[in-house]
Amino acid sequence: MKKSDSELLEQLKFLYESLDQEMQEKFQRHVSIGDLVLDRWERARRYGFGEGTSCYDNVLVLGEVKVGKNCWIGPGVILDGSGGLEIGDNCSISAGVHIYTHDSVKWANSMGEMPYDRESVKIGSGVYLGPQSIICKGISIANKAVVGALSLVREDVQEGQRVGGVPAKVLNLP
């Protein structure tokens, strides 16, 4: 390693430690280096997401993804828009949520001879997707629905419904 590279690395470490300490003191949290140096709201704006939406640095965004305003997209989320993905306003997409608009089952089983299957996903406004939930291709989740943590959504969710489980089923909660 050249001396200039070594000096730059030391400066980078110092910057990281300073920003990390500031984040810990201000918000009692540790985040990735990308989230220390990049603004989550600016990142969302660069993707063309709606005003007031934030998106962590480690979110994977593929294809055509449209997100409305005032949404929170947590860390470790996958937004697969390769088949078209639309998310409304005021949604909470919790940590680790995966939203898929394609699968490669037929492609793999055909030894690469068949194409991927793609179907769009639409998520309404005021929707809460719990941590680590998975939304499969072709699904619609209507306004004000709630998907519980660790759920696998393989069927459409109606307005105001609360679903949870693997596979997700309607929950009769007050």
pLDDT tens, 29-73?
A: 888 888 888 889 999 999 999 999 999 999 999 999 999 999 999
Would you state the structure tokens that stand for residue 150, as one six-digit string? Answer: 């660790």
Rounded percentage of the chain residues whose pLDDT exceeds 90? 80
Burial of 31 (0-12, 13-18, 19+ CB in 10 A): middle
Ordered per-residue pLDDT tens for the chain, 174 residues: 677 888 889 998 988 899 989 989 988 988 888 888 888 999 999 999 999 999 999 999 999 999 999 999 999 999 999 999 999 999 999 999 999 999 999 999 999 999 999 999 999 999 999 999 999 999 999 999 999 999 999 999 999 999 999 999 999 876
Q: Candidates 3.30.420.40, 3.40.630.10, 3.90.1640.10, 2.160.10.10; correct CATH number of 39-170?
A: 2.160.10.10
